[in-house]
Amino acid sequence: MGKRDFSCIIFRRLHTIIPRQKNSVKGWQKNRMDEQLKKEYEHYVKEVTPTHNLWLQMLKAFLVGGLICTLGQCITNCVMHTFGLDKQTAGSWTSLCLIFLSVLLTGLNLFPPLAKFGGAGALVPITGFANSVAAPAIEFQKEGQVFGIGAKIFTIAGPVILYGIVVSWLLGLIYWISGLLGIGLMP
């Protein structure tokens, strides 16, 4: 039984219950209909609700997140040895490469299946953040540059960026005031 079929059953049942209530149906008949409708709805919810194996989901997240981090480490090592960059500069290049790969996979519609398979393993690293910025931009590009991409690009990542900036500003303010008062927060 599909979602549409069950909603039709509920709609028909409600239409049979509501007119009877107006005609003062006996209370036990109304309760019996309500209980039957409630049991059918509970059966429908159990049928439609997906079941997940927690351990399998954690294993998939671990594998996907681990593969992304391994790829990042390989990029770092390659950039350090090939171009002779220091570790910090190589890390910056690694971040840029991972962001580029994430946006590219999002544009080719390959990142959503990876995220569905890997769950938090694909979404927690920097690749998930890049996907959260690129996906709305790609989705709303039909609405134009300003009202599509410009207005929707930060719908998911915007709050994260905003709260990050506000919290860092508040912490900087606290640090500055503690320096003025002579209270050393940092050793």
Q: Tens of pLDDT along 1-50?
A: 555 555 555 555 555 555 544 445 555 566 777 888 888 888 888 888 88
Q: With respect to residue 164, please indicate whether it lies within any of the assigned structural domains.
A: no
Q: With respect to residue 187, please indicate whether it lies within any of the assigned structural domains.
A: no
Kindly state the average pLDDT of the residues 149-173: 81
Verify that 25 and 67 share a domain, yes or no.
no
Domain count along the chain: 2
DSSP state of 105: H
Verify that 75 and 18 share a domain, yes or no.
no
Q: With respect to residue 15, please indicate whether it lies within any of the assigned structural domains.
A: yes
* Residues 91-136 pLDDT 10s: 999 999 999 999 899 889 999 899 899 988 888 778 888 888 888 8
Verify that 146 and 73 share a domain, yes or no.
yes
Q: With respect to residue 105, please indicate whether it lies within any of the assigned structural domains.
A: yes
Instruction: Report the distance separating Cα 111 and Cα 135, nearest Å.
Output: 10
Verify that 8 and 60 share a domain, yes or no.
no
> In terms of Cα–Cα distance, which of 152, 124, 128, 127 is closest to 138?
152
| Boundaries of domain holding 28 | 3-48
Residue 98 and residue 68 in contact, taking contact as beta carbons nearer than 8 Å = yes
- From residue 15, how far is each of 5, 73, 78 by CA, in Å? 16, 63, 69
Residue 88 and residue 79 in contact, taking contact as beta carbons nearer than 8 Å = no
Q: With respect to residue 169, please indicate whether it lies within any of the assigned structural domains.
A: no
